[in-house]
Each structure stands twice: as structure tokens, then as C-alpha cells.
Amino acid sequence: MSSSSLQARVHQMRHEAPGILSVELRPLVPGTAFAQAVEPGAHIDLHLAEGLTRSYSLTNPGDRHRYVVAVALDPKSRGGSRFVHASLRVGQALSLSAPRNHFALHEDATHSVLLAGGIGITPLYAMLRRLAALQRRAHLIYCASRRDGAAFVAQIEALAAASAGRLTVDWQFRDERPARAELQQLLADQPEGTHFYCCGPLALVEGYEHACEALGLTNVHQERFAAAPLPQARTPQEGYTVELRKCGRQLQVAAGMSLLDALLDAGVNADYSCREGVCGACEVKVISGDVDHLDQILSKQEHAANRSMMVCVSGCRSGTLVLDL
């Protein structure tokens, strides 16, 4: 949940592919605009029902008058995608968060490679649209079970056709190419300075990370829409102390307790959503402390810099943690 939310109305719902709906949201007050324009790679939280909040990537870069997301019906849905497909209707009012972006597009790159798996196409489709508008060079690798079950295929074909060769696409559909894609081969031999992006199922993202490491690639970016198993927290047996600099308060976090729960139990109005360290809603600035970073958003360099943390999964190894709260 969020301490501040936007109010919107479902303006349109569109069938993008079997089991995939796009949802267009517009401000509740007609004729107004959202404060933030859509950035490629950004996502919003939708407050779908009491206690049911889910994060979805935005697909329409540059817009302020509408936010558009795409939602695949997950057979193992914990309620979010099932609610969208079965209960959400045009005209319905929703609360949502302002856009957040931990998967930003580097627009000045001379070349970009985008690797999508299934509904992981959503942030990469936004990136491709932006790169097309900038007349940048990009290569999309789109992995899915079937062409007729993949979202935005026609739109991507149109972007590529109008790009004068700047945008290329490698369709990796299993019904057309049964042999599994070799990621190292697909990612190799790219121009110097290329930025690489991946979004998709956990197995694809992990394979991408291993391939990038094996190839010695830099400028590597990824976003998960499901969390990998968390490593064991390194909270000391006696717990640790948290100082909230703005509030002027100190809290004790017991061993085995999440920092987020300690904050909420103390009445601190902390934002959160996924509780898995993948959405970024709970990010808090760190002033000092030995942070045990367990999120799957920040890079190794950002962990080392220690400027912020995700309080839903990360904690403190020892001593006192000082937060800008």
C-alpha cells in the first residue's frame, strides 16, 4: 500500500492476445492529466481490492493523459491477474501509485538489445517505442510459446517496418522454432557500447544474467516480475536498532522480523507493495548502517554505494541502521 495514491478510472480494456488484456487508465477528473509522464521501463501499482495491490509495467512512453498496462492471466494467480480479467470493468475507479522506474532506458546508447519473455514484453515494448521515436538502433529478441499468444506482435512489426532498418526483431516462438534459444549466441557480437535489457520469467532472467557474465558484457539491466528465492538474512540474534532521523525515533527490530513489519507495527507510514524486493515501492534512503541488501532491484554497485534499501526484505547485519524517515 502507499501513503499517497492517484485516482483513476478504467477508460478502455483491450484484448491483446489470448489471456492478455491491456488496461487504459485516465485521471478520475475528465480533461486533466497525471503529474508524471510515462518513462520507458516504469511501472505502477494498482490497488485492485482491499489488501490486493499489484505492480504492472507501463506501455505508453511519453503520455500524461493516460497510463496503459498489460496483464496476463496467470494460472497460478494469487488474485491480481484473476481480478483484472474477471472483475475489472470499464468505468471502474481505481487507486494507483505514481510511476516508479528501476528499469530505466539509457536513451543515449548507440545500440540497445531487448530480451523479452512472455508478458515481460511490456516494459520492453515501451522501450522499443521510445527508441523508434528517437530513431535509435535496437534489436528485440522476443521469446514466447506461440506467436498468436504473444502481445503487441502486430505493433512491433509495424515499428520495425517503419524504422528504415534501425529496429530489428528476432522472433523466438517455440511453435515456430522448437529448438531452445542459446542466449549466449543471441546476445553475442553486439556493437561496443550496447545496453542490454531483459524482462521475463525467472529462468529466462537467470539465463540472461549467466550469459552476460560469460560474455563479459557491461551495461546489463534486468527486471523480474517474480522474485527468486531470497538468500538467508544475516540479522544478528539480538536484532538491531533502527534510527528514524526525520521522526526522531528509535526502533528495535527482533531477529526473524522484517524491517517493514517493525516500521508498520510502530505506526510508521511506510510505502510497500510486493513484499518480495522486486517492485521498489518500499525504497528508503539510508544515512548509515551495515545494510544486508536482499532485494532484486538494485545493482551490485548500488548495493555497495548503500544509498538506499528495500525495507520489505533487506535489513541490517549489526549495530544501528539510520534511515531518512
Residue ranges per structural domain of the chain:
6-96, 111-224, 240-323
In the block, cell 523508434 appears at 132
111-224: which CATH topology?
Rossmann fold (3.40.50)
How many Cβ atoms are within 10 Å of 177's Cβ, its own excluded? 12
Whether 12 shows a pLDDT value over 60: the answer reads yes
Whether 28 shows a pLDDT value over 50: the answer reads yes
Backbone angles phi, psi at 209, to 5 degrees: -60, -40
Place 272 in a pLDDT band, splitting at 50, 70 and 90.
confident
Q: Which superfamily is assigned to 6-96 in CATH? A: Translation factors (2.40.30.10)
The pLDDT of residue 105 is 98
* Higher-scoring residue by pLDDT: 3, 86: 86
CA distance 48 to 52: 6
The pLDDT of residue 275 is 87
Query: Which of 60-64, 105-109, 235-239 has the least mean pLDDT?
Result: 235-239
CA distance 229 to 177: 31
Report CA-CA distances (Å) from 41 to 122, 153, 216: 8, 19, 24
Q: What architecture is the 240-323 domain classified under in CATH?
A: Roll (3.10)
Residue-wise pLDDT for 157-188, tens only, equals 999 999 999 999 999 999 898 777 799 999 99
Whether 78 shows a pLDDT value over 50: the answer reads yes
Residue-wise pLDDT for 123-136, tens only, equals 999 999 999 999 99
The pLDDT of residue 3 is 47
The pLDDT of residue 4 is 61
Place 227 in a pLDDT band, splitting at 50, 70 and 90.
low
| Cβ neighbours of residue 310 closer than 8 Å, sequence gap 6 or more | 277, 280, 282, 283, 284, 293, 294, 295, 297, 298
End-to-end CA separation in angstroms for the chain: 17
Domains 111-224 and 240-323 share a fold: no
